[in-house]
Structure 1
Amino acid sequence: MKISIERAVLLKAVAQAQSVVERRNTIPILANVLIEASEGSVTLRATDLDIEVLDRAPAMVEQAGATTVSAVLLHDIIRKLPDGALIELVDDTRTGRLQVSAGRSNFSLATLPKEDFPVMASSEYSANFAAPAKVLRRLFDKAKFAISTEETRYYLNGVYMHVADGESGRVLRCVATDGHRLARVDAPLPEGAENMPGVIVPRKTVGELRKLLDDDDMEIAVSVSETKVRFATPDMTLTSKVIDGTFPDYSRVIPTQNTKRLEVDASEFSKAVDRVATVSSERSRAVKLALEDDKLVLSVNAPDSGAAEEELIVAYGDERLEIGFNAKYLLEIASQVDRENAVFMFNTSGDPTLMREGNDTSAVYVVMPMRV
C-alpha cells in the first residue's frame, strides 16, 4: 500500500476512528485502525466490537492495499504534523511496518495483520429511512442529558428511539431517563420509518453519532434492526449494537394533571439557579423554589457554608407553592430551552414537575422534586 493524503483530511478521519477505540484492550487488534486503500480513496475502520465506525476520504493511491496500525498513535502523529502537510503512508510488507512521512518527518509504526481485524457482521435492517442531520441532532441532543449512568439499570444507559403517537399523528421519538429526570423529544416521522422497531441506542453511540450531525444540510441514512442501528453519510458510517433490554413505560411518569403554571425567562432562570447554588459545596444540593403572585424566590441553605436567595419576576397566578429540586437537574433541563421562555407545570411539592418550551409540546421534560 502506498498513498498520499492531505493532513486535514486524514486527521478528521483518524480522529473519528480513534475515539471509538477503547484505551485499555485485552485484544491488541482492537487498539488498531484498519486502513484500506483502493482507487482514489482510503477507508479507515475502527471498532470496539459494539460500535464500528467507517470513514472514507479522498487520497492519491499509488498502490492499493490494507494494514492495521495503532489508532491513538497514528492520531497523535498526524495531529502534531504541520498544517497543510501532504502525508505519505507506505505499508512495508518486508518489515511489517507502516512508514508515515511528511516533509522532513518520518515515522515507522508497528502493524498487525489486516486478516485479524474483526468486521462487524452485516445485519438485515427492517427499516431504512433518511432524516435531516439537524432533526436527528435535536432529538438526541435534547434527550441525552437524562441518560442513566447506573450500570445495574443497563436498559436506561441509552436513548430509546421509536415510533410513537404524538398530538398530531405518528412521530419519531427519543426518550431518556435515569429515574430522577426524563426527556421526551418528538420529530415528524420520516418516510420509511413507520415499521421501525424501537431500539435503545447506547450512550457511547449517541456521543459518536453527534460527530456525524454537524452539517445542517446533510441527510443521514438511518437503518434499524432489532439488534443494530446504522447512521450513514456519504463519507462516514456508524454501526452500533443496541442495548438488549426493554425500556420502561415512560408515559406513566409524565404528569397530565399538573395545573399550576409558571412561565419564566429560561436564561435568567438558569443564571439565578447557578448563582444561588454557588454557596453549596455539593452540586446536588436542593434549590428551593417559593412561588406566589408573579414572583419566584430561589433559595439555598447550606449549613456548612451559608445561604443564598434570589428573586425573579415571573408569570404565575396560582396558589402559593414551595418545592425543591436538585440544582444540577434544574440547570440541565433549563439549558435545553432554545426559546426565550420556559414553562413549568406543577401539581404539589411532592409530585413530578413538567417543563416545556412555551406552548411547544414536541419536547417535554420531567424532573422529580427533592425534600427541602
Structure 2
Amino acid sequence: MKISLLQENLVKGVNLLNRVVANKAQLPVLSNILLLTDNGQLKLSATNLETGMNLWLGGKVEGEGKLTVPAKVFSEVVNSLPPETVVLEKEGEGLKISCERFRSKINGIAAEEFPALPSLRDGKTIKETFHLDREVIEKSLGQVAMAAATDESRPIFTGVKLELGKKKLRLAATDGYRLSIKIVKNLKGPKKQKSIVVPARALMELVRALAVSGTEAKEVVLAATEEERQLIMAYGDVEVVTRILEGEFPDFDKIIPTSHTTSIVLDAEELLQAVRAAAVFAKDSANIVRFKVSDQGLLISANAPQVGENEVELAGKKSGEDAEIAFNSRYLLEMLNVIGGKELKLELSGSLSPGVFKPKEDNGLIHIIMPVRIQA
C-alpha cells in the first residue's frame, strides 16, 4: 500500500478524526486511526465506541492494504510537515511517511483489531435513508444541542431527540434545567414518522465536519442500521457514526408554557452584551443574574459581596405586568450565542415559572430556561 496526497488535505482529515479518538482507551487500538485503501481513495476511520468517523481523501493509490497507527503521533507528524505532497507507505505493521526531506516511521497495530464501523458506502447494513438540507441542519443542531446534559449519569439527557415526519423535523434537547426545541418545515422526511435520540456530542461533531468540509454537497444523509442501534450521518466524503440512545426521553411538550403574564421584545445583541457584563460579577455568586421588567424596559443586575455589583438597562417593548426573575448566566449566554436573529421575545409567568425565549425572525425555535429561586 502506497498513497500520495497533499499535506493540507491529510492534516484537515486527521484533525477532524482526532476529535472522536478515545482519550482513555480501554483497548490500545481505540487510540489509533485506521488507514486503508478504498476504491482508489484513502479511507481514514476513528472511534471511541460511542461516536465514530469515516472520511475519504483523494490521492494517488498504489496497491491495497490497511493498518492502524497511534492518532496522537500520526497527527503531530503530519502537522509538522511542509505543505507539499506526502507519501504514506505500509511496511509490515508500520507506516512510513515521507515529504520533501522529512522521513518518519510509526509503529502500528494490525487493522483486524480495529472495531468495524458501518458505512453508507458498504451498502449492506442500511435500513432506510433520509435527506436533510445542509444549511438548515447545521444551524438547527447548533441551536438545540447545547441544551443537552453533559452528565453521563442520565444518558438519555445527553441526547437530542429527532422527530422526523413526512414534511417536518422537530429537534429537542434538555438537561432538566433548560429546554431547546426547533421545528424545521418543508422537508422530505421518511414515509412513516420516526423518533430517535442521538448523542449531542455526535451531532456537534457533524456540525464541525460540515463547517470544514470542502465538498459542495447540499444535503446531509441520515441512515439507521438494520438493527437501529447506530445512525450514520453522511456529508460528502465524511461520515459520523453514532449509537442511538435507548430510554424514554422526557415528555417536553408538557413543559412548554401555554400562556404568560409578561412579555418584552429586546434587541438580541444588546441583551447578549448586557448578560456578558453581568456574568463577570455573577460567576462569584452562583451565576445568578436578575431580570426586572417594567415600563422602562429590562434592568439586568448581578452582584457578588467580595467583587461588586453591575446593572444594565435595556430598552424594550413590554406587554402585561411588571416582573422579576433570576436566571443562571451560563444558560443565558449559551442560548444567546446561538439563537440568532435581531430581536428576541421573552415571555414570563412569575418568578418561579420558566422563562420562554423566542427569536422574532424564527417562529420554529423556542428556548426555555428554569428560573433560579432567590430570596427577596
Asked whether the two chains share a fold, i.e. TM above 0.5, the reply is: yes
Higher mean C-alpha deviation, range 313-322 or range 338-347: 313-322
Residue in 1 aligned with 2:155?
154
SS at match of 1:75: helix
Matches within 5 A, 1:191-270: 191-214=188-211, 218-224=218-224, 226-270=228-272
Match of 2:40 in 1: 40
Partners in 2 of 1:239 and 1:113 — Cα distance? 22
Paired residue secondary structure (2:98): strand
> Would you say 1:144 and 2:145 are equivalent positions?
yes
> Structure 2 matches for 1:1-372, cutoff 5 A?
1-38=1-38, 40-83=40-83, 85-93=84-92, 96-120=93-117, 124-163=125-164, 171-188=168-185, 190-214=187-211, 218-224=218-224, 226-282=228-284, 284-358=286-360, 360-372=362-374
Distance 2:240 2:333 in 1: 31
Q: Which amino acid aligns with 1:206?
A: L
Structure-2 change in CA distance of 1:170 and 1:218 (3 Å): closer
Asked if the contact 2:268/2:343 (under 8 Å) is kept, the reply is yes
Q: Which amino acid aligns with 1:159?
A: V
1:244 and 1:234 map into 2 onto residues whose CA distance is 28
- How many pairs were matched up? 365
Q: CA deviation at 1:182?
A: 0.7
Taking the aligned partners of 1:217 and 1:90, their CA distance within structure 2 comes to 31
Tell me by how many angstroms 1:203 deviates. 2.7
CA contact (8 A) 2:266 2:343 kept: yes
What displacement does 1:334 show? 2.2
User: What are structure 2's unaligned runs of at least 5 residues?
Assistant: none
Deviation at 1:143, TM superposition (A): 0.5
Deviation at 1:318, TM superposition (A): 2.1
Task: Give the aligned residue type for 1:2.
Answer: K
Please give the secondary structure, in 2, of the residue aligned with 1:112.
coil
Distance 1:283 1:236, change over 3 A: farther
CA distance in 1 between counterparts of 2:164 and 2:11 reads 37
Q: Does the 8 A contact of 2:56 with 2:238 survive in 1? A: yes
3-state DSSP class of the match of 2:363?
A: strand
TM-score, normalisation: structure 1: 0.92
Distance 2:24 2:190 in 1: 37
Give the conservation status (yes or no) of the 8 Å contact 2:261–2:350: no
Contact 1:261–1:317 (CA under 8 A) maintained in structure 2: yes
CA contact (8 A) 2:348 2:355 kept: yes
Distance in 1 of aligned mates of 2:43 and 2:149: 34
Q: Distance in 1 between matches of 2:296 and 2:243?
A: 49
- Give me the whole-angstrom Cα distance separating, in 2, the residues matched to 1:206 and 1:305: 39
TM-score by length of 2: 0.91
1:196 Cα deviation from its structure 2 partner: 4.9
**AA matched with 1:191:** K
Inter-partner Cα distance in structure 1 for 2:128 and 2:286: 41
Shift in CA distance, 261/126, structure 1 to aligned 2, threshold 3 Å: farther
Q: Specify the code of the residue in structure 2 equivalent to 1:197.
A: K
Whole-Å separation in 2 of the counterparts to 1:334 and 1:3: 46
Deviation at 1:19, TM superposition (A): 1.8
Aligned partners of 1:297 and 1:310 also within 8 Å: yes
How far the C-alpha of 1:170 sits from its partner, in A, is 5.1
Name whichever of 241-250 and 57-66 sits farther off. 57-66
Residue 316 of structure 1 aligns to a residue in which SS? strand
Structure 1 residues 3 and 178: alpha-carbon distance in aligned structure 2, compared to 1, 3 A threshold: same
With over 3 angstroms needed to count, the CA separation of the structure-2 counterparts of 1:161 and 1:38, relative to structure 1, is closer
Q: Shift of the alpha carbon at 1:61?
A: 1.4
Give 1:336 shift.
Answer: 2.7
Counterparts in 2 of 1:30 and 1:267: CA distance versus 1, 3 Å? same
1:319-342 deviation per Cα after TM superposition (whole angstroms, max 9, x unaligned): 221111111112222223321100
Percent of aligned positions that are identical: 27
